[in-house]
Amino acid sequence: MILFETVKALKEKTPFGYLALTMMAVAFSFTGWTILSTNFAINAAKMDGLEWGWAHSIREIPGFLAFTTVYLLLVLSEQRLAAFSVFLLGVGIALTGYFPTGSGFFITTFVMSVGFHYYYTVFLSLPMQMFEADDYPIIRSKLRSIDSAVAAISFLLVLAFVYWLEVNFKILFLLFGLAAIIISLYCLFAYKPFKLKHAQQMKIILRKRYCLYYLLQFLSGARRQIFVVFAALLLVEKFDYSVLEIAGLFFANHLITTIAAPYIGRFVLGFGERFVLQIEYLGLIIVFTLYAFVDVSWLAALLYIIDNIFFSLAIALESYFKRIADKTEIAASAGVVFTINHIAAVFLPALLGAVWLFDHSLVFYLGAGLACLSFLATCLIPRYPNQGNETQSFSLALKVK
C-alpha cells in the first residue's frame, strides 16, 4: 500500500513524493556511512578511542547549531535547503574514503553532519506546513516506515559489498555518497517550488507557550543519547555480541519499524498525543530499568528492539507541536527545537562514559529517571491541545473524567 502510494507520489512529483525521495536519499547514504564508519576509523584511519570520541562530538556540533537554519532561509526556500543539505551530506560521505586519517575523518564527518542535521531540521518543519493536523501523524508514520525500509536495504547492500564482493572502503563511501548527490540534484531541477499556505517568520523564536514542548525535546535528546551510545555498548561489552549479531539487531529494528510505523499515526489520531507519549515513556522506564540489571543476552537484545519501537512513538510529540504552533512560526521553531534536542549530545556521552567505568547500571537508571520526568511532563498536555490550550495543570490532569 505504502509502496504504491510512494511510487505514485514520485511519478506525480507531489510534496509527499519530494519528502519521501529526499528522506530515502538520506536514509540510504547515512545508513551506509553509519555501518562502515567505525571499521573505517579504526582499521583504515588508525584512530584510537580518544579520536573516535572526538569524532562523535564533532558530528553533533551541527545539530547543536541547527538554529542557524533560519538565516539560510532568508535566501533559500525550505524545499531548496532540503535538497542542498542532502547534496552536502552526499559530498561528505563520498569523500570519506579518500582521507584515511584522523583529521580527514573529522573534516568529512563534519561536512556530512552539517547536511544531515540541516536536512532533518527542515524535515521537521516542512511536513507540518504541508499537511493538516489530522493528516500529519499518518503522513509522518508513512515516512518513518519508508525511512526504515530504505535503511534496511542499505544494510543488505553493505553486507553484499563487504562480505561477498569485498569492495574497499573508498568505493563504498563513494557509492553511498553519490546516491545522495544524484538524488539531491534531481530534486533541485525536477521539482517545481511548492506553494506553502503560510509565510514563515525568519527569525529565532522562543515562546513561553512552547516551553513544555522544549522540555520534552530536551529530555528526548538526552534519553536518545543513552540508547545510541550505551545500549549497543552493553551488548558488546557485557554479552560479547559480534559485529554480525549487532548488525542483525540493526536490521531487525528497521524491519519491524517498516511494518509497525504506518499504524502509529492511526494510534496517535485515535488515542491522542498525551496518551501515546505516556505509553512511550512508561515503556522506556521499564526498558531502561531492565537494562540496568539484565544478565541474559537474549533479553538484552529484546530490550534493544523494544527500545527502538518506543522511539517511533515520538511522532506524537511532533504532532503535539503541530497542533499548538503558530502556523507562521514552524520553520523558525524547528531550528531552535533541533538545537534544544542536541544540547545533551554535546556533553552527556563523555560525562556518562566516566560513569560507565564506575557502574554501568547508573547510566541506565539515569535513562529511567529521564523517562520518568518525561512522563510527568506529558501530564501537562491537554487531551485536545491547540493554540491557546498548550498545557494544563497537574490538578486537572489528575481529575477522573
Domains in the chain, start-ordered, CATH in brackets?
A: 2-398 (1.20.1250.20)
173-199 pLDDT, tens per residue?
A: 999 999 999 999 999 999 988 887 776
* Dihedrals phi, psi of 389, to nearest 5 degrees: -135, 55
Would you state the pLDDT for residue 400? Answer: 44
The predicted pLDDT at position 52 comes to 64
**Alpha-helix runs per DSSP H in 131-210:** 136-159, 169-190
Q: What is the pLDDT of residue 282?
A: 95
| Backbone Cα Rg of the chain | 21
- Position 401 scores a pLDDT of 44
Q: What type of residue is 148?
A: S
Residues of the chain with pLDDT under 70: 1, 47-50, 52-53, 199-200, 243-244, 393-401
> In sequence order, what DSSP letters do the residues of 256-323 get, joined into one string?
HHHHHHHHHHHHHHHH-HHHHHHHHHHHHHHHHHHHHH---HHHHHHHHHHHHHHHHTTHHHHHHHHH
Contact call for residues 228 and 253 (beta carbons, < 8 A): no
What was the pLDDT predicted at 246? 72
Give the span between the Cα atoms of 397 and 384, in whole angstroms: 12
Segment 109-125, tens digit of pLDDT: 999 999 999 999 998 88
* Phi, psi angles (nearest 5°) of residue 391: -140, 165
Q: What does the pLDDT read at residue 157?
A: 86
Cell numbers at residue 144, please? 518513518
